[in-house]
Structure 1
Amino acid sequence: MASIEITPEERAELTKALTDALNPLAAAVRSRRSGQSTARMWDADPVEVTLSVLAAWKAVDAEVKRLTALAAATAGSYGANYEQLGAAWGMTRQGARKKWPDAVPRPATAGARTGSSLELFGGTAELTQNQLSGGWAWTAEGADGARGAAEDGTWYATKEEAAAHAGAFLREHLATLP
């Protein structure tokens, strides 16, 4: 995906929208700094007014950076790689990796799984995550010796959901008293 260029008309609309969105923030910043009402903000010293506008742009810049990192991480969670992120941002793969170091999950090996153990009702369950899909599954052995697992091909969206299913299995397979 190539970097997107905007038309002069789109740039003008974007500038107007951003300026319209910025004005209330700049007025609030100026009002807090000067103690004047927001309606009188433009009556202040021009240097102070423009500095309040600059301070508001700094806040917008920080928020855009945060939202950009969130968008990159979201794309990475859906399977985008650093080459694709870089292309979308108009930079190299290496530049994207440096800009958003945690945006793309790093599986140890293709299809590798990570997980954790769960002990409930005298039995144990192993929760595993597929690093390619991000889904979670479970296998368990109940206190009564019964073995169970998520249905073939079932991957749960979250670790907690897989743990809930494993826990229900373990609860059903308590040790029976002799």
Structure 2
Amino acid sequence: MPSFEITPDEQTGLAKALYDALDPLASAIRSRQTGLPADRMWEADPIEVTLSVLAAWKVVDAEVKRLTAQAAATAGSYGASYEQMGAVWGITRQGARKKWPEAVSRPAPAAAGRSALALFGGTAELVQAPSGEWSWAGVGADGASAGTGDGARCATAEEAAAHAGAFLKEHALDTAGPS
């Protein structure tokens, strides 16, 4: 897994961007607390000013946690595992699962699903295994038969249908007549 460390220049730029984003928020918090206009924030008691800055960082921290959970959920929706997310975050798989419990959906055990496909004068049956993988078996209009081979499985019903459809098209009877 690649390292996600940042360079000193990137860290300086990030700190500047965060401070630039934080300043208006800290000013608004301080203004609400004191009734002073935001442009006079720095004229207040230094302890109160720094506590306003600390309060703003707390708001930023909560937002970063929310956005981090959203990014983890997005990664999980694309198929990233807790192991991968943990590696990126520098924690264990179990730590990632605890940190983002809803990020990776655990599919319910799939009941075997079946679907029929009729194209180009032939038929195919799509079958879902308890593991969730799909296979297909078909008979073309010309009588040829085929399907997923031993151990060959498709990840989705759509993938199995695409393979079966391609087979059925290849084994369609030529009804176009002479050209």
TM-score (norm 2): 0.61
RMSD between superposed Cα atoms in Å: 2.2
Q: Which residue of 1 aligns with 2:23?
A: 23
CA distance in 2, matches of 1:10, 1:90: 20
Classify the secondary structure of the residue corresponding to 1:153: helix
Q: Which residue of 1 aligns with 2:69?
A: 69
The runs of at least 4 aligned residues of structure 1 exceeding 4 Å deviation read none
Classify the secondary structure of the residue corresponding to 2:158: coil
Q: How does 1:1-178 map to 2 (within 5 A)?
A: 1-109=1-109, 112=110, 153=158
What letter matches 2:70 in structure 1? L
Q: Which residue of 2 aligns with 1:118?
A: none
Q: Which residue of 1 aligns with 2:176?
A: none
Over 3 Å counting, the alpha-carbon distance change for 1:113 and 1:5 in structure 2 is farther
What letter matches 1:43 in structure 2? E
CA shift for structure 1 position 108: 3.1
What letter matches 2:66 in structure 1? R
Given that 1:3 and 1:89 are in contact with CA atoms closer than 8 Å, whether structure 2 keeps it comes out as: no
CA distance in 1, matches of 2:28, 2:132: 46
Given that 1:2 and 1:87 are in contact with CA atoms closer than 8 Å, whether structure 2 keeps it comes out as: no
CA distance in 2, matches of 1:16, 1:84: 30
CA shift for structure 1 position 107: 1.6
Larger Cα-atom Rg:
2
Q: Which residue of 1 aligns with 2:140?
A: none
CA distance in 1, matches of 2:13, 2:36: 31
CA distance in 1, matches of 2:84, 2:51: 38
| Relative contact order higher in (CA < 8 Å, ≥ 6 apart) | 1
CA distance in 2, matches of 1:27, 1:12: 22
| Deviations 1:137-156, CA, capped at 9 Å, x for gaps | xxxxxxxxxxxxxxx839xx
Structure 2: runs of 5 or more not aligned = 113-130, 134-156, 160-179
TM-score (norm 1): 0.62
| Deviations 1:96-149, CA, capped at 9 Å, x for gaps | 00100110011234xx269xxxxxxxxxxxxxxxx979xxxxxxxxxxxxxxxx
What letter matches 2:158 in structure 1? G
What letter matches 2:17 in structure 1? A
Number of residues paired by the alignment?
118
Given that 1:3 and 1:87 are in contact with CA atoms closer than 8 Å, whether structure 2 keeps it comes out as: no
Classify the secondary structure of the residue corresponding to 2:58: helix
CA distance in 2, matches of 1:80, 1:39: 46
Structure 1: runs of 5 or more not aligned = 115-130, 134-151, 155-178
Using the aligned pairs only, state the percent identity: 69
